């Protein structure tokens, strides 16, 4: 039975034809709210594009109106002497505005005075989003209109109301300019509120016109692919909201790599996914399949690296690139040799496993590691198989059963270094602890998924996933799915670690999703065997 909670997406945005706009203009006694006051308020409110109300009043500023302001606005001291004060006006004005998007020309000026009054009277700053016709005009009309003041824009859009520095007339003219700018913005694909709010921040680069490529993107979770003129995939990304995420690249992202990517971009492809986990896995698979040149950090490595316990008479640790079915213990795969080396160093710090490469014998001298006492090396022939097997068993037991047997020695070293103020060495040991802990955790989670067969899980939002041997088969929202018993299950992988970096990273994503407290397992085709001993957290042990 599914959890009875409907899935929602708060970031899907609101179509502009459903947004309530309140176009606002204030007249004041000066330029700064710290020392000046409001003398007039004018506002017009629109719902679904239709005028639904107007708010117009003079305000007694309880202060002299400078002659320059009277010349500019025509508002005299005599006109405001009987007008209500801002403390009387503000409650009605805030009720009139409600949850509307506040629009103004250089709206920051009006909001500064309005917020100052609201805070002074105990209402706090207004939470309403704002849209500035000046910022929109800079983005949309810079090449057409030389001056972007309200008078010039009103003339450009042939406003029936001429702005005259009176609040209501200026608000009505601003509204007319706003509708004209919305029409221009629509030609760029601006159809939702979040598109409109971000439009003024878009960089004026030659690649901005390519935002038209996003027109067909849905407001749903999924994966997007950028392609160049040769139709090669140059970037793959995931998003909760495809349209919003892709359009964000055109809104002020000044990273050099993004500018280069937009220069090469000629087509955008997308794939809608049912859940966020499906989007993450799909992104991972596409990156590993096409190795896009702008996915620098997540591109697949040339060859994976494994840490292997060899099957020699005196086993040692070796870093190899190929995974063989030889019964040897492995950790990995790792993206780089540096990561593999960190795990090897952590194990060397935890157990005295052999470090030298020589076979040795009775007549051979002890290696440096044996002389320093950091490794039980058989190079001088004094170590018996039985003695050495104890070390090998300790290592296997730590990796396969009790991780704390390997990690506790590292924690003790961290404490020792910290007590003696050797902080750099403590940090290095901490990184080794983390590398080994992560490697053991990944090996464990892989084997749990590998042995579970086909697994059906669901979270509290109603998202369900179907996983087979650590690989995502399907995901959906809802409960009308067939039972798992009707689905065939493939044979498990013979390896106790993933065969590739892609398989390891996919299993890691799935495990992270399954490990959340709001996820429950609905059904599996084989027992889901969780390890008895948990991997200790470094902060808990070191504390």
Catalytic center residues: 165
CA 244 to chain centre: 13
Contact between residue 251 and residue 208 where contact means Cβ atoms under 8 Å apart: no
Residues linked to residue 320 through DSSP beta bridges, in sequence order:
306
Own/partner pairs, 65-72, CB within 8 angstroms, 24+ separation:
65/29, 65/39, 66/29, 66/30, 69/27, 69/28, 69/29, 69/30, 69/39, 72/165
Instruction: List, in order, residues 6 or more apart from 519 with CB less than 8 Å away.
Output: 457, 458, 459, 460, 513
Angle at 183 between CA 178 and CA 187, to 5 degrees: 140
Name the helix (H) or strand (E) containing 155.
helix 150-156
Q: What does DSSP say about strands 329-334 and 305-309: parallel, antiparallel, or unpaired?
A: antiparallel
CA 200 from chain center: how many Å? 23
Q: Which two tokens stand for residue 150?
A: 């309200």
The verdict on whether omega for the bond into residue 333 sits within 30 degrees of 0, i.e. cis, is yes
d(CA 30, CA 25): 14
**Rounded distance between C-alpha atoms, residue 83 and residue 77, angstroms:** 10
DSSP string, 123-150: -------EEEHHHHHHHHSTTT-S--SH
390: nearest Cα among 412, 405, 403: 405
């Amino acid at each position: 039975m599914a959890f009875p909670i409907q899935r929602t997406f708060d970031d899907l945005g609101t179509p502009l034809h459903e947004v309530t706009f309140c176009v606002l203009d204030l007249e004041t006694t000066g330029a700064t709210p710290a020392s000046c006051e409001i003398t007039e308020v004018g506002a017009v409110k629109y719902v679904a594009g239709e005028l639904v109300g107007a708010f117009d009043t003079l305000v007694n500023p309880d202060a002299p109106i400078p002659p320059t302001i009277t010349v500019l606005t025509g508002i005299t001291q005599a006109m405001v002497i009987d007008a209500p004060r801002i403390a009387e006006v503000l409650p009605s004005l805030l009720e009139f505005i409600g949850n509307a998007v506040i629009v103004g020309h250089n709206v920051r000026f009006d909001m500064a005075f309005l917020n100052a009054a609201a805070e002074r009277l105990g209402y706090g700053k207004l939470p309403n989003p704002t849209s500035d016709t000046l910022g929109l005009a800079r983005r949309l009309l810079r090449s057409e209109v030389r001056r972007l003041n309200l008078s010039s824009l009103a003339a450009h859009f042939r406003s029936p109301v001429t702005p005259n520095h009176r609040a209501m007339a200026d608000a009505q003219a601003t509204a007319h300019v706003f509708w004209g700018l919305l029409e221009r913005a629509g030609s760029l694909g601006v159809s939702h509120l979040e598109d409109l709010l971000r439009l003024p921040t878009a960089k004026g680069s030659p690649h901005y016109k390519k935002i038209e490529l996003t027109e067909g993107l849905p407001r749903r979770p999924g994966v997007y692919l950028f392609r160049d003129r040769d139709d090669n995939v140059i970037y793959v990304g995931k998003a909760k909201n495809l349209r919003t995420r892709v359009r964000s690249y055109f809104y002020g992202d000044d990273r050099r790599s993004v500018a280069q990517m937009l220069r090469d971009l000629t087509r955008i492809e997308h794939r809608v996914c049912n859940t966020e986990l499906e989007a993450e896995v799909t992104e991972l698979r596409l990156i590993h399949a096409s190795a896009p040149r702008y996915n620098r950090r997540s591109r697949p490595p040339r060859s994976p690296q494994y840490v292997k316990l060899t099957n020699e008479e005196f086993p040692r640790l070796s870093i190899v690139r190929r995974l063989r079915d030889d019964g040897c213990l492995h950790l990995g795969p790792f993206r780089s040799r540096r990561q593999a080396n960190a795990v090897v160093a952590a194990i060397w710090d935890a157990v005295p496993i052999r470090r030298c490469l020589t076979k040795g014998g009775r007549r051979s001298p002890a290696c440096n590691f044996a002389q320093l006492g950091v490794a039980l090396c058989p190079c001088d022939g004094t170590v018996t198989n039985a003695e050495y097997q104890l070390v090998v068993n300790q290592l296997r037991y730590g990796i396969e059963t009790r991780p704390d047997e390997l990690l506790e020695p590292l924690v003790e070293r961290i404490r020792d270094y910290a007590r003696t103020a050797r902080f750099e060495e403590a940090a290095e040991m901490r990184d080794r602890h983390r590398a080994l802990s992560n490697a053991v955790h990944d090996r464990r989670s892989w084997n749990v998924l590998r042995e579970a067969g086909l697994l059906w899980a669901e979270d509290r939002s109603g998202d369900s996933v179907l996983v087979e041997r650590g690989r995502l088969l399907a995901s959906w929202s809802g409960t009308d799915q067939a039972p798992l018993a009707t689905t065939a299950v493939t044979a498990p992988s013979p390896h106790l670690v993933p065969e590739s970096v892609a398989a390891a990273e996919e299993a890691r994503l799935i495990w992270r999703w399954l490990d959340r407290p709001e996820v429950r397992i609905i059904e599996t085709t084989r027992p889901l065997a969780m390890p008895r001993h948990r991997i200790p957290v470094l902060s808990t042990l070191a504390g």
